[in-house]
Amino acid sequence: MNLSKSLNRHLFIVSAFFIVLQIAHLNSIGQIATSSPYSRYGIGDITGKGLSQAFALGGSNIALQNDTTPVFFINSSNPASYSNIRLTTAELGVNFSRLQLQSESTQKSINNASVGYITLAFPFKKWWGASAGLTPYSSVGYNVKEQQTISNVGNVDFLYQGNGGINQAYFGNGIKPFYGLPMLFMKSKKYQRLKEEKKDSIIYRILKRQKALQSLSLGINVSYMFGGISHEQRSIFPLNAFAYNTYTSSTTRIGDIYLDYGAQYAYTIDSLNGRDLKDNVQLLVGATYAAQSNINAKIDSLSYTYSLDALGNKHYKDTITNTEGSKGKITFPLSFGFGLGFKKGDQWLITSDFAIQNWSSLVIFNQPQGLKNSMRVSFGAQFIPNSKASGKGSFLKRVNYRIGARYLQSSIVVKQTQLIENAISFGLGLPVGRNFLLQNFSMVNIGVEIGQRGTTANGIIKEQYVKALLGFTINDKWFVKPKYD
C-alpha cells in the first residue's frame, strides 16, 4: 500500500468518525440522560467531560496523562494532556443509570440509557497533540407534582416538566512549549565550552533542569456549546370553579463558543541516593481553568390561562405571553481545579482532584438563579499487575483495576439546604486484541458509580443511584510512510 492510499484510508476513517459523531448527536437529542427533579435548577445536571478511565477513578482526571504504554486514553477535561498522545485514539461511551427517588412517604425508581460521548485524539508531533469530539455538558429531565393548600383558594396542583440539555462539540490542542531544550543545549556553543572545560557537573545540572522544563504541557479546548432546554409549569385549581388554571412554558436554545484551558507537569524520579530505581516514579500536577463567559441564547415563551370542563376539555381564556426568538445571554460561571497524581512505573496510579465552580454567578436572561458555588473533591487509584504481560494465562495481569470516591457540595439549595452528593466507584479496563507490529490496541472499559444526593429531611427528595459507563477505546498508528510500495 503506497502513501497516498494510506492517507486516503485514514481520511476516510476520520470522515466516518465525524459522521458517526453527528448521528450520535441527532440520536441523543430525543434521549433522556437524567430523570432527576433537581435538574430543573439552573441549566440542569452538570455531566462534565470525564471519560471512561476517569469515571471509575471517582472523576479524578485533572492530572491524568496518557500512560507510557498502550492502551492510551483521552482526557478531554484537561486539554494539556493532548501533548502526550502517541497513537491515534478513538473513544466511545454509553451511559446507563438507575435512579431511586425517595421522600418521607413515597419511593420511585427510573431507568435511563443514553449515548455518553464520542471523541478522537491524534498526535501531530512529539510535543503537540489534538483532540475533537462531542460530549454532554448538562442534562435536564424531570416530572414533578406538588400540591399546596392556599387560604381563600383551596388546593392547588403545581406540575413541573422539563427536558433537554447542553452539548459540547470541541476541538483542543496541547503542546509542550519547552520540548527539545536539552537537544538545543547540547548543540550550543556553551555546551561545547563546558565539555572542553570538563565541567560535567554543570552540564548535568543544566540538562536536568531543561529535561524538567520540557515536561510542562499547556492546552486549550475551543468548544461550540449548543442545545435546548424546555421547561413547563401548570397551576391547576381542581376544586375552584371560578379560578383559571395557568400554563407557562419556555424553550431556551443556545449556540456559542466556550473556552477552557489546562496545564500539566510531570516530574520523574528515576534514581534515589545515587541508585537507579527499578520503576520510575512520576509526580503529576494538573490545573484547569475556564473564565466566566456570556453565551448567546434565544428563548421562546408562552403563557396563558384556561379552564377544564367536566370532560377534561381545555378552554382557553387569555394569552399572557407569547414570544419567539428573544435574544439574550447565559452567564456561564468561572471554574478552576487542581489535580495531583502519583505514578509508579506502569502498575500504580493514584490521583486526586479539587475543583470549584462559581455557580452563584449563573444568570439566565438577566435572571439570577439563586445557586451556590459548588466544590468537588475526588480520589482514585488504578492497578495493573503487569501491563507488559503476554501469552496464555496473562489476561488478568493486563486488566486495569480501578477504584475511586467523590464528594460534591452541589450548587443546588432546596428549602435552605445545600445538597451534598457522595459516591464511590470501581471499574475494569479489559484489553482486547493487541497487535504490537501494527501498533493497534483496544480496550473495553466498564465503570460503575454508586451514590446519593440530598436527604428526606425537611420534605426534600433523596436520590440514590447506580450509574454505569461502558466505554470503548481504540489505539492505532496513522500516517506512517511505508518503506516499500
Looking at residue 168, its pLDDT comes to: 92
d(CA 217, CA 84): 8
Give bridge partners of residue 109 from the DSSP assignment: 100
Helices 200-213 and 189-196: crossing angle in degrees, nearest 10, is: 150
Residue 124 · residue 131 · CB < 8 Å:
no
- List the domain boundaries for the chain: 3-179+214-476
pTM for this one? 0.86
**296 closest CA partner among 251, 326, 327:** 327
Q: Which residue has the cell 407534582?
A: 145
Looking at residue 28, its pLDDT comes to: 42
Residues of the chain with pLDDT under 70: 1-33, 48-49, 153, 240-242, 271-279, 310, 387-393, 434-439, 479-485
Written in H, E and C, the secondary structure of 421-466 is: EEEEEEEEEEEEEEECCCCEEEEEEEEEEEEEECCCHHHCCEEEEE
Domain 3-179+214-476 matching CATH 2.40.160.60: the answer reads yes
The CA-based angle 326-329-335, given to 5 degrees, is 155
Looking at residue 382, its pLDDT comes to: 95
Q: Which amino acid is at 253?
A: R
d(CA 321, CA 304): 7
d(CA 453, CA 103): 12
Name, in order, each residue with C-beta under 8 angstroms of 89's C-beta and a sequence gap of 6 or more: 72, 73, 74, 120, 121, 122, 473, 474, 475
| Grid cell in block for residue 163 | 427536558
In angstroms, the Cα distances linking 298 to 137, 140, 295, 324, 361 are: 18, 17, 10, 8, 20
Looking at residue 435, its pLDDT comes to: 64
Looking at residue 57, its pLDDT comes to: 95
In angstroms, the Cα distances linking 151 to 156, 224, 237, 260, 417 are: 10, 49, 13, 51, 27
d(CA 351, CA 377): 11
Q: Which amino acid is at 145?
A: K
User: pLDDT for 275-315, tens place per residue?
Assistant: 666 668 889 999 999 999 999 999 999 999 988 776 777 88
Residue 196: DSSP 8-state: H
Q: Which residue has the cell 444526593?
A: 453
Q: Which amino acid is at 427?
A: G
d(CA 185, CA 344): 29
The Cβ of residue 130 has, within 10 Å, a number of other Cβ atoms equal to: 19
Looking at residue 272, its pLDDT comes to: 64
d(CA 17, CA 11): 10
Name, in order, each residue with C-beta under 8 angstroms of 43's C-beta and a sequence gap of 6 or more: 138, 140, 166, 229, 330, 362, 364
Looking at residue 386, its pLDDT comes to: 82
Looking at residue 391, its pLDDT comes to: 52
Indicate the Cα dihedral angle 5, 8, 13, 18, nearest 10°.
Answer: 180
Looking at residue 30, its pLDDT comes to: 40
d(CA 274, CA 176): 29
Residue 371: DSSP 8-state: -
In this structure, are strands 348-357 and 335-344 parallel, antiparallel, or unpaired?
Answer: antiparallel
Helices (H) and strands (E) in the chain, counts: 6, 19
* Concatenated DSSP letters of 147-166: EEEETTTEEEEEEEEEEEEE
